[in-house]
Amino acid sequence: MLAPLVDGGYTRLLRPVLFRAYAGDPERVHHTTLATLEALERRPAALAALRLLTRAPRRPVEAFGLTFPGVVGLAAGMDKDGVAPRAWAALGLGHVELGTVTATAQPGNARPRLFRLPASGGLVNRMGFNNAGAAALAARLEAANIRRGSSVPGIPVGVSLGKTKTTPLAEAAQDYLTSFAAVAPHADYVAVNVSSPNTPGLRTLQEAGVLRDLVAALVAAAREQDPARPVPVLVKVAPDLSFDALEDVLGVCTDAGAAGLVATNTTLGRDGLADADRWRASEAGGLSGAPLAARAREVVAFLAARTELPVVGVGGILTADDGQALLDAGARLLQVYTGFVYRGPALVREIDARVARGPLTTTTTPGSTTERTHA
């Protein structure tokens, strides 16, 4: 099998070259990678070859009324404007969450705004929802013939929705609804991002009363758009919420008709950092990667033990053991971002191989386990 060559080619050849070439500007590495994948997007033969090279055993997962060919997907933030959905599928990911997009285009925060913490296996970012806008994403997906429920690109396509920075908090619901109306025909699900630390005031939208109105409005819009099969609406939560606040969020999501939760976003905390990374971590922004692993597991376990809603586990997945730990905590699906930056397709293959070897044993409450199969 040639997949290990692809995996090793990333970690031993491509990543070191990119990291050295743009040592002072990780965002350029990001854009270079996206440009490469966008070029592949227009070459079906290249995508077919890549799919063959990265093929691996995996087990389907059912969640939100959708079938995911594998447990590992790509988290929001990597492909904000939807330039490479077919390429992500060819790399072996089981779904992709595009965005975060906003109702109007915006440049995001001033650069530099992305910082690698290699000794800690982490990243700090303060991107600020830089994107071309929801309408532009919808137009790109339409041109690529990617519509909700279609067989293109062969994996579910989610879209993360955020608030435009200049929109007052009092008008946030309409901002999200504008984005939803644009992308709903192309999204297999949407995720409501109210937990990024990089848009001023955004996390106040996680307060119970405000969140209830927002989620209810989006769920109502989904039902109006397709009464027979509404687009599933997920809510992405911050790892920095207290357990009491998480309980409130969970109650709101259940009452308002959300289809699931994404846990978690980046953290404002700086625990678990190696000394070599502390100066970079002093930069403002959200921390992701290995330092977030323990808290992500705590949040996933807390939510999964208290709801039947599917939980997508995100945060600190750099090894197959990390992915299994989130599944054991109760996650139905996984998403990777920082781990994919450091490990590439190998990480996806390792987790899928672990899951494919047998049924998952999921600990939902202390002292009790339930066997969950994904067939």
Annotated catalytic residues are 196
- How remote is the C-alpha of 317 from its chain's centroid? 12
Residue 50's SS3 state is helix
Of the candidates 90, 70, 87, which has an alpha carbon nearest to the alpha carbon of residue 79? Answer: 87
Count how many residues are written for the chain.
375
CA angle 30, 33, 38 (to 5 degrees): 120
Q: In whole angstroms, give the CA distance from residue 225 to residue 221.
A: 6
List the binding residues for substrate.
Answer: 80, 125-129, 193, 198, 265-266
Q: In whole angstroms, give the CA distance from residue 110 to residue 3.
A: 38
**CA distances to 14, 149, 254, 292, 315 from 258, in Å:** 40, 19, 6, 25, 21
Provide the H-helix boundaries in the chain.
3-8, 15-21, 26-41, 44-54, 85-90, 134-143, 172-183, 208-225, 243-256, 278-281, 293-304, 320-328, 338-343, 345-356
- How remote is the C-alpha of 153 from its chain's centroid? 17
Q: In whole angstroms, give the CA distance from residue 219 to residue 338.
A: 30
Q: Give yes or no for a contact between 185 and 273, defined as CB atoms under 8 angstroms apart.
A: no
Q: Give yes or no for a contact between 66 and 45, defined as CB atoms under 8 angstroms apart.
A: no
List the binding residues for FMN.
Answer: 76-80, 100, 160, 193, 236, 264, 289, 316, 337-338
